[in-house]
Amino acid sequence: MSRTRGFPENGELVVCTVTSVKNFGAFVTLDEYDNKEGFIHVRDIATGWVKYIRDYIREGQKTVCKVLGVDSQKGHIDLSLKSVNDHQKRERIQQWKNEKKAEKLLEIVSTRLSISVDDAYDDFGNQLLEDYGTLYDAFEGVVAEPEEFTSYYSGNWIDAFVEVAKENIAPPTVQIEATLEMSSSAPNGVILIRNALEAGLEAAEGADAKITSVGSPRYRVVVTASEYKTAEDILKRVAKAAIDNLTAEGGVAVLKRESK
Protein backbone atom coordinates (compact mmCIF):
# COMPACT_ATOMS: atom_id res chain seq x y z
CA MET A 1 0.00 0.00 0.00
CA SER A 2 1.54 3.32 -1.04
CA ARG A 3 0.75 6.79 0.22
CA THR A 4 -0.31 8.22 -3.13
CA ARG A 5 -2.35 5.75 -5.09
CA GLY A 6 -3.48 5.76 -8.71
CA PHE A 7 -6.27 3.26 -9.35
CA PRO A 8 -7.29 0.09 -7.50
CA GLU A 9 -6.83 -3.35 -9.01
CA ASN A 10 -9.62 -5.65 -10.15
CA GLY A 11 -10.79 -7.82 -7.28
CA GLU A 12 -9.46 -5.46 -4.62
CA LEU A 13 -11.65 -4.60 -1.61
CA VAL A 14 -11.86 -0.83 -1.19
CA VAL A 15 -13.28 1.43 1.52
CA CYS A 16 -15.88 3.81 0.09
CA THR A 17 -18.06 6.72 1.15
CA VAL A 18 -21.47 6.89 -0.52
CA THR A 19 -22.07 10.31 -2.08
CA SER A 20 -25.22 9.84 -4.16
CA VAL A 21 -27.91 7.16 -4.43
CA LYS A 22 -30.08 6.84 -7.54
CA ASN A 23 -32.61 4.24 -8.64
CA PHE A 24 -30.07 2.80 -11.08
CA GLY A 25 -27.14 2.65 -8.65
CA ALA A 26 -24.93 4.54 -6.24
CA PHE A 27 -21.93 6.83 -6.60
CA VAL A 28 -19.13 6.60 -4.06
CA THR A 29 -15.69 8.02 -3.42
CA LEU A 30 -12.74 5.73 -2.69
CA ASP A 31 -11.22 6.86 0.60
CA GLU A 32 -7.77 5.42 -0.06
CA TYR A 33 -7.51 6.58 -3.66
CA ASP A 34 -7.66 10.37 -3.36
CA ASN A 35 -11.47 10.19 -3.28
CA LYS A 36 -11.72 9.00 -6.86
CA GLU A 37 -15.32 8.33 -7.86
CA GLY A 38 -16.69 4.84 -8.27
CA PHE A 39 -20.09 3.48 -9.29
CA ILE A 40 -22.16 0.57 -7.99
CA HIS A 41 -24.83 -0.52 -10.47
CA VAL A 42 -28.11 -1.53 -8.88
CA ARG A 43 -27.54 -5.14 -9.98
CA ASP A 44 -24.38 -5.16 -7.84
CA ILE A 45 -26.02 -3.71 -4.74
CA ALA A 46 -27.49 -6.95 -3.39
CA THR A 47 -28.26 -10.51 -4.37
CA GLY A 48 -31.73 -10.78 -5.87
CA TRP A 49 -34.13 -8.04 -6.89
CA VAL A 50 -33.60 -4.66 -5.27
CA LYS A 51 -36.94 -2.92 -4.84
CA TYR A 52 -35.78 0.02 -2.74
CA ILE A 53 -32.08 0.70 -3.17
CA ARG A 54 -31.97 2.86 -0.04
CA ASP A 55 -32.79 -0.21 2.02
CA TYR A 56 -29.23 -1.32 1.22
CA ILE A 57 -27.20 1.85 0.84
CA ARG A 58 -27.52 5.53 1.72
CA GLU A 59 -25.66 8.83 1.35
CA GLY A 60 -22.83 9.35 3.84
CA GLN A 61 -22.49 5.64 4.56
CA LYS A 62 -19.02 4.14 4.89
CA THR A 63 -18.88 0.72 3.23
CA VAL A 64 -16.60 -1.76 1.48
CA CYS A 65 -16.88 -2.75 -2.18
CA LYS A 66 -15.12 -5.13 -4.53
CA VAL A 67 -13.57 -3.65 -7.66
CA LEU A 68 -15.13 -5.16 -10.78
CA GLY A 69 -13.40 -3.11 -13.43
CA VAL A 70 -11.20 -0.05 -13.92
CA ASP A 71 -10.81 2.24 -16.92
CA SER A 72 -8.01 4.57 -15.93
CA GLN A 73 -8.25 6.51 -19.20
CA LYS A 74 -11.89 7.44 -18.61
CA GLY A 75 -11.56 7.43 -14.83
CA HIS A 76 -14.29 4.82 -14.43
CA ILE A 77 -14.29 2.41 -11.48
CA ASP A 78 -17.06 -0.20 -11.36
CA LEU A 79 -17.78 -1.68 -7.95
CA SER A 80 -19.85 -4.38 -6.29
CA LEU A 81 -21.38 -4.20 -2.83
CA LYS A 82 -23.00 -7.64 -2.90
CA SER A 83 -19.66 -9.39 -3.48
CA VAL A 84 -18.39 -8.43 -0.02
CA ASN A 85 -19.56 -10.47 2.96
CA ASP A 86 -19.91 -9.15 6.51
CA HIS A 87 -16.63 -10.67 7.69
CA GLN A 88 -14.68 -9.13 4.81
CA LYS A 89 -16.32 -5.78 5.46
CA ARG A 90 -15.45 -5.75 9.17
CA GLU A 91 -11.89 -6.85 8.49
CA ARG A 92 -11.33 -4.29 5.73
CA ILE A 93 -12.85 -1.43 7.73
CA GLN A 94 -10.60 -2.32 10.67
CA GLN A 95 -7.59 -2.35 8.37
CA TRP A 96 -8.57 1.09 7.09
CA LYS A 97 -8.99 2.42 10.64
CA ASN A 98 -5.61 1.01 11.59
CA GLU A 99 -3.95 2.76 8.68
CA LYS A 100 -5.65 6.06 9.50
CA LYS A 101 -4.29 5.69 13.04
CA ALA A 102 -0.83 4.92 11.68
CA GLU A 103 -0.90 8.08 9.56
CA LYS A 104 -1.67 10.10 12.69
CA LEU A 105 1.19 8.40 14.50
CA LEU A 106 3.55 9.27 11.65
CA GLU A 107 2.50 12.90 12.08
CA ILE A 108 3.54 12.65 15.73
CA VAL A 109 6.88 11.16 14.72
CA SER A 110 7.35 13.98 12.21
CA THR A 111 6.63 16.60 14.88
CA ARG A 112 9.17 15.08 17.25
CA LEU A 113 11.74 15.07 14.48
CA SER A 114 10.83 18.65 13.49
CA ILE A 115 10.26 17.64 9.88
CA SER A 116 7.22 17.65 7.60
CA VAL A 117 5.11 14.56 7.01
CA ASP A 118 6.19 14.61 3.36
CA ASP A 119 9.83 14.54 4.45
CA ALA A 120 9.03 11.67 6.82
CA TYR A 121 7.65 9.65 3.93
CA ASP A 122 10.67 10.50 1.79
CA ASP A 123 13.16 9.69 4.55
CA PHE A 124 11.69 6.42 5.82
CA GLY A 125 7.91 6.15 5.44
CA ASN A 126 7.88 4.94 1.85
CA GLN A 127 10.56 2.36 2.63
CA LEU A 128 8.48 1.05 5.54
CA LEU A 129 5.43 0.84 3.27
CA GLU A 130 7.45 -1.17 0.78
CA ASP A 131 8.81 -3.50 3.47
CA TYR A 132 5.68 -3.96 5.60
CA GLY A 133 2.81 -3.28 3.21
CA THR A 134 1.11 -0.83 5.59
CA LEU A 135 2.30 1.78 8.05
CA TYR A 136 0.31 0.14 10.82
CA ASP A 137 2.13 -3.15 10.28
CA ALA A 138 5.41 -1.24 10.57
CA PHE A 139 4.41 0.31 13.90
CA GLU A 140 3.14 -3.06 15.10
CA GLY A 141 6.36 -4.72 13.95
CA VAL A 142 8.38 -2.35 16.12
CA VAL A 143 6.38 -3.28 19.20
CA ALA A 144 6.56 -7.00 18.47
CA GLU A 145 10.29 -7.15 17.64
CA PRO A 146 12.00 -3.85 18.53
CA GLU A 147 15.55 -5.25 18.47
CA GLU A 148 15.12 -6.75 15.01
CA PHE A 149 13.65 -3.46 13.76
CA THR A 150 16.43 -1.27 15.15
CA SER A 151 19.14 -3.60 13.88
CA TYR A 152 17.72 -3.59 10.34
CA TYR A 153 17.01 0.14 9.91
CA SER A 154 19.27 3.10 10.53
CA GLY A 155 18.75 6.84 10.79
CA ASN A 156 18.02 9.57 13.30
CA TRP A 157 14.29 8.79 13.01
CA ILE A 158 14.54 5.36 14.65
CA ASP A 159 14.26 6.43 18.30
CA ALA A 160 11.24 8.66 17.72
CA PHE A 161 9.49 6.01 15.64
CA VAL A 162 10.05 3.29 18.24
CA GLU A 163 8.98 5.60 21.05
CA VAL A 164 5.71 6.58 19.36
CA ALA A 165 4.98 2.96 18.47
CA LYS A 166 5.42 1.75 22.05
CA GLU A 167 3.27 4.59 23.37
CA ASN A 168 0.34 3.92 21.05
CA ILE A 169 0.32 0.32 19.78
CA ALA A 170 -0.59 -2.64 21.97
CA PRO A 171 1.66 -5.66 21.43
CA PRO A 172 0.03 -8.18 19.05
CA THR A 173 -1.27 -11.29 20.79
CA VAL A 174 -2.64 -14.71 19.96
CA GLN A 175 -5.09 -16.75 21.98
CA ILE A 176 -5.48 -20.53 22.11
CA GLU A 177 -7.74 -22.72 24.17
CA ALA A 178 -8.31 -26.33 25.09
CA THR A 179 -10.49 -28.32 27.45
CA LEU A 180 -9.41 -30.25 30.52
CA GLU A 181 -11.72 -33.12 31.44
CA MET A 182 -11.16 -33.95 35.10
CA SER A 183 -12.92 -36.34 37.45
CA SER A 184 -12.33 -37.98 40.81
CA SER A 185 -14.35 -40.57 42.71
CA ALA A 186 -12.71 -39.64 46.01
CA PRO A 187 -14.93 -38.17 48.76
CA ASN A 188 -12.98 -34.92 48.50
CA GLY A 189 -12.86 -35.07 44.70
CA VAL A 190 -14.05 -31.48 44.25
CA ILE A 191 -11.18 -30.22 46.38
CA LEU A 192 -8.68 -32.42 44.54
CA ILE A 193 -9.81 -31.05 41.18
CA ARG A 194 -9.63 -27.49 42.47
CA ASN A 195 -6.10 -28.11 43.76
CA ALA A 196 -5.11 -29.58 40.40
CA LEU A 197 -6.42 -26.56 38.52
CA GLU A 198 -4.56 -24.23 40.87
CA ALA A 199 -1.39 -26.25 40.25
CA GLY A 200 -1.94 -25.77 36.54
CA LEU A 201 -2.23 -22.00 36.87
CA GLU A 202 0.88 -21.88 39.03
CA ALA A 203 2.76 -23.66 36.24
CA ALA A 204 1.93 -20.73 33.94
CA GLU A 205 4.49 -18.76 35.98
CA GLY A 206 2.69 -15.45 35.66
CA ALA A 207 1.73 -15.82 31.99
CA ASP A 208 -1.79 -14.96 30.85
CA ALA A 209 -3.61 -18.24 31.48
CA LYS A 210 -7.18 -18.66 32.68
CA ILE A 211 -9.25 -21.72 33.59
CA THR A 212 -13.04 -21.62 33.77
CA SER A 213 -15.65 -24.30 34.30
CA VAL A 214 -17.88 -25.13 31.35
CA GLY A 215 -19.82 -27.74 33.28
CA SER A 216 -18.33 -30.63 35.23
CA PRO A 217 -16.14 -32.44 34.31
CA ARG A 218 -15.00 -29.94 31.66
CA TYR A 219 -12.76 -26.92 32.26
CA ARG A 220 -11.72 -24.48 29.56
CA VAL A 221 -8.09 -23.37 29.51
CA VAL A 222 -7.39 -20.10 27.65
CA VAL A 223 -3.85 -18.86 27.08
CA THR A 224 -2.89 -15.49 25.59
CA ALA A 225 0.67 -14.77 24.45
CA SER A 226 2.68 -12.83 21.89
CA GLU A 227 3.02 -15.80 19.52
CA TYR A 228 1.59 -19.28 19.00
CA LYS A 229 4.69 -21.20 20.03
CA THR A 230 4.83 -19.38 23.35
CA ALA A 231 1.11 -19.91 23.91
CA GLU A 232 1.42 -23.62 23.12
CA ASP A 233 4.32 -24.02 25.54
CA ILE A 234 2.34 -22.33 28.31
CA LEU A 235 -0.73 -24.47 27.60
CA LYS A 236 1.35 -27.65 27.76
CA ARG A 237 2.84 -26.62 31.12
CA VAL A 238 -0.56 -25.75 32.58
CA ALA A 239 -2.19 -28.96 31.35
CA LYS A 240 0.67 -31.22 32.45
CA ALA A 241 0.78 -29.74 35.95
CA ALA A 242 -2.99 -30.06 36.40
CA ILE A 243 -3.13 -33.60 35.01
CA ASP A 244 -0.13 -34.81 37.01
CA ASN A 245 -1.54 -33.31 40.20
CA LEU A 246 -4.92 -34.99 39.87
CA THR A 247 -3.71 -38.38 38.64
CA ALA A 248 -1.29 -38.51 41.57
CA GLU A 249 -4.38 -38.42 43.80
CA GLY A 250 -6.10 -41.21 41.88
CA GLY A 251 -8.19 -38.97 39.64
CA VAL A 252 -8.58 -39.02 35.87
CA ALA A 253 -7.61 -36.07 33.66
CA VAL A 254 -7.12 -35.53 29.95
CA LEU A 255 -6.55 -32.51 27.70
CA LYS A 256 -8.71 -32.22 24.58
CA ARG A 257 -8.31 -29.87 21.62
CA GLU A 258 -11.13 -29.11 19.21
CA SER A 259 -10.43 -30.37 15.70
CA LYS A 260 -10.32 -27.65 13.04
What CATH number is associated with residue 210?
3.30.70.1130
Together in a domain, 148 and 191: no
In this prediction, residue 3 has a pLDDT band, given cuts at 50, 70 and 90, of low
How many domains is the chain built from? Answer: 3
Together in a domain, 149 and 92: yes
- pLDDT at residue 37 above 80? yes
β-bridge partners, 26: 21, 40
Distance between CA atoms of residues 209 and 233, nearest Å: 11
Instruction: Establish if 2 belongs to a structural domain.
Output: no
Distance between CA atoms of residues 65 and 68, nearest Å: 9
What are 205-231's pLDDT values in tens digits? 999 999 999 998 999 999 999 889 999
β-pair type (36-41, 76-80)? parallel
On the 0-12 / 13-18 / 19+ scale of CB atoms within 10 A, 222 is middle
Q: Which domain holds residue 178?
A: 174-256
What are 42-95's pLDDT values in tens digits? 999 999 899 999 999 999 999 999 999 999 999 999 999 999 999 999 999 999
Instruction: Establish if 7 belongs to a structural domain.
Output: no
Instruction: Establish if 4 belongs to a structural domain.
Output: no
Provide, rounded to the nearest whole percent, the portion of the chain with pLDDT above 90: 90
pLDDT at 122: 94
In this prediction, residue 2 has a pLDDT band, given cuts at 50, 70 and 90, of very low
Cβ atoms of residues 110 and 120 within 8 Å: yes
Instruction: Establish if 6 belongs to a structural domain.
Output: no
On the 0-12 / 13-18 / 19+ scale of CB atoms within 10 A, 134 is middle
Together in a domain, 61 and 73: yes
Domain stops at, among 40, 56, 84: 84
Together in a domain, 236 and 223: yes
pLDDT at 144: 86
CB atoms within 10 A of CB 198: 14
- pLDDT at residue 243 above 50? yes
β-bridge partners, 252: 183
What are 186-210's pLDDT values in tens digits? 999 999 999 999 999 999 999 999 9
What CATH number is associated with residue 146?
1.10.150.190
Distance between CA atoms of residues 67 and 12, nearest Å: 5
Instruction: Establish if 231 belongs to a structural domain.
Output: yes
User: Which residues neighbour 43 within 8 Å (Cβ) at sequence distance 6 or greater?
Assistant: 50
DSSP structural state of residue 170: P
What CATH number is associated with residue 30?
2.40.50.140
Q: What is the DSSP string of 217-231?
A: TEEEEEEEESSHHHH
Instruction: Establish if 148 belongs to a structural domain.
Output: yes
Instruction: Establish if 1 belongs to a structural domain.
Output: no
Together in a domain, 38 and 77: yes
What are 152-196's pLDDT values in tens digits? 999 999 999 999 999 999 887 899 999 999 999 999 999 999 999
Domain stops at, among 67, 84, 101: 84
Together in a domain, 148 and 190: no
Instruction: Establish if 111 belongs to a structural domain.
Output: yes
Domain stops at, among 36, 53, 84: 84
Cβ atoms of residues 204 and 238 within 8 Å: yes
